[in-house]
Amino acid sequence: MIITIGREFGSGGRELGKRLAEALGIAYFDKEIVAEVAKNTSLAFDYVQNIIEQRPIVYYPISIGHSFEDYNNYVAREYYSVHSEQDKVIKEIASKSDCVIVGRCADYILRDLHPYKIFVYSSMEAKIKRCKEKGEVDTSLTDKKIIKSIKQIDRQRGEYYEFYTGMRWGDKENYDLMINTSNASIKEIALGLAEVIRQATNNK
């Protein structure tokens, strides 16, 4: 039983993943994957997370004595190293136990194993409210600035997903189930979804 969850920022996808894993009695992975990649590559956690969550961006070299081409090659090697390790870690996780994996393009990386693919989304109003309640944004910011931040994060997630998979992030054609958390209890959604997945698994 392998379940992958893609999610809009502020939609509650991470909470849903945790609650779903608890309801099913299976493992849950999110930032644990970043930590494992960082350990295996001897790179800083924040640096690895930044690479994993964004498509490659080429910057001009800061240090004198390094050509633009050399720097680009260095950046390319770093990205390849991190993403290669991430693929390895995710495949190892899926091979060892039933699990829920949030983000990281896991639905694409594990496509040969046919995971149950979920995408979680929400209205902007609900996302703003959830971000404030969960402390995911600076509550002193105006709603206008919070909206801007949410849109920026979602745009980065979309660009990252599309760059590495060649598919459109959030497109219903790429998922088994789309879940709108705008006006519902995530706890109740998780419990109901767990039952649906149990039945689907038992019927295979």
Q: How many residues does the chain have?
A: 204
Of 152, 172, 156, the C-alpha closest to 164 is 156
For the chain, percent helix, then strand, then coil, each to nearest 5?
60, 10, 30
Percent of the chain past pLDDT 90, that is, above it, reads 60
Here the contacts of 157-161 (C-beta below 8 Å, separation 24 or greater) are 157/8, 157/9, 157/53, 157/103, 159/54, 159/55, 160/53, 160/54, 160/55, 160/105, 161/6, 161/105, 161/108
What are the pLDDT digits (tens) for 106-162? Answer: 999 999 999 999 999 999 999 999 999 888 778 788 999 999 999 999 999 998 899
- d(C-alpha 147, C-alpha 131), whole Å: 10
Cα Dmax for the chain: 63
What are the pLDDT digits (tens) for 71-107? Answer: 445 556 777 788 888 999 999 999 999 999 999 999 9
- pTM of the predicted model, to two decimals? 0.84
Domains recognised in the chain with CATH numbers:
2-198 (3.40.50.300)
Answer for the pair 68, 61: CB distance below 8 angstroms, yes or no. Answer: yes
- d(C-alpha 182, C-alpha 157), whole Å: 20
Answer for the pair 102, 14: CB distance below 8 angstroms, yes or no. Answer: yes
**Does 17 have pLDDT greater than 50?**
yes
- d(C-alpha 193, C-alpha 199), whole Å: 10
**How is residue 129 written in tokens?**
């409210």
End-to-end CA distance of the chain: 11
- d(C-alpha 169, C-alpha 8), whole Å: 10
- d(C-alpha 71, C-alpha 56), whole Å: 13
